[in-house]
Structure formats: C-alpha cells, structure tokens
Amino acid sequence: MNRTVFILNGPNLNLLGRREPHIYGHTTLEQIRQRSERLAGELDLVCDFRQTNHEGVMVDWIQEAFEEGAAVIINPAGLSFHSIPVLDALKVIHTPLIELHLSNIHARDALHRHSIMSGAVNAVICGMGAEGYSLAIRAIDDLLRRQVDHN
C-alpha cells in the first residue's frame, strides 16, 4: 500500500507568520513543513510538502498525486472559494483526501465562508491553526489503515 501523502498548500501560505497573524497565527509554513515531515515519519508515511501561488501548478500536483496513488491533504487557501479546475482535479482522487484550513472558515466573512472543495473530500479540518496539519496527517494515517483492514 502506498503510504505517501502530498500536503499541498495554496496561494499566500508562503507568507504564514507574517500575513494576518491575528487570523492565521505566527507559525511559518516552514515550521509547519518540519513538524509535518517529522510526524509523518513517526507514522511511517512519506510526506511530500509543497506550496504554490498558481492554480495550474496546484492542478498539476493533484494529478501527480492521483497518478502516484498518494493520499492528499490540501489547504487550497484562496482557491477554496472559486477554483473549478482545482475542484475538478480533486474529484479524480480516490485515496484519502482531506481539506484543511488554518482558520474556521465558517466563522469568517461571507467571501471566505463556503469552500467549494468540501464536497469532493473525505473530511474537512478547519479552525485549529497550525495544529490542523498534525490532525490531518493522523487522519490520513487512520484512513489508510482502515483501507488495509477492509482489503
């Protein structure tokens, strides 16, 4: 069984720790990457952690995950609310797929309240800040283990 998880991060997340820390916290994406890779290693997962500011690159990465049979954790950031190409790419993923948001998007302004990605994923984690990544990695591990138990 493939134990690779792509952790895909969308636009502006490269500015975490500096961009609106009252919403997104003070933890940088590099710190999140380091913690994610460490936890994934402890769980015997291979972590492929990426960030892009470009919609087409995100689509390419989702398709790459599909081709490799990898699980996916995606924080689509601003793409969450309007990107039909990202949504359509996510629909081909048949491995565990989790949508992640640092903030509680349901408590935000109307523009940031409804992610169109949510209908295509196994689960959504939001509002847990940087700790959401650890929760998502543990959830991916659990979903992968359940797949093995059912086969």
Alpha-carbon gap, residue 59 to 6, rounded angstroms: 13
The CATH code of the domain that includes 49 is: 3.40.50.9100
Residue-number span of the structural domain to which 144 is assigned: 4-150
30-85 pLDDT, tens digit each: 999 999 999 999 999 999 999 999 999 999 999 999 999 999 999 999 999 999 99
101 is an active site residue: yes
Please tell me the pTM assigned to this model.
0.94
In the predicted model, is pLDDT for residue 131 greater than 70? Answer: yes
Q: Which residue has the tokens 């048949």?
A: 94
The answer on pLDDT for 12 being more than 80 is yes
Q: Using the predicted structure, report yes or no on whether residue 121 has a pLDDT greater than 70.
A: yes
Band of the pLDDT at 1, cuts 50, 70, 90? confident
Among 24, 82, 106, 114, which one carries the catalytic annotation? 24
pLDDT of amino acid 116: 85
How far lies 24's CA from each of 42, 80, 86, 129, in Å?
26, 16, 22, 6
Annotated binding site for substrate: 75, 88, 102-103
Average pLDDT over all residues of the chain: 93
**Catalytic residue, candidates 26, 94, 101, 106:** 101
24 is catalytic: yes
Q: By percentage, how much of the chain surpasses pLDDT 90?
A: 81
Q: What is the DSSP string of the chain?
A: ---EEEEEE-TTGGGTTTS-HHHH-S--HHHHHHHHHHHHHHTT-EEEEEE-S-HHHHHHHHHHHHHHT-EEEEE-GGGGGT-HHHHHHHTT--S-EEEEESS-GGGS-GGGS--TTGGGSSEEEESSTTHHHHHHHHHHHHHHHHHHHH-
* Number of domains composing the chain: 1
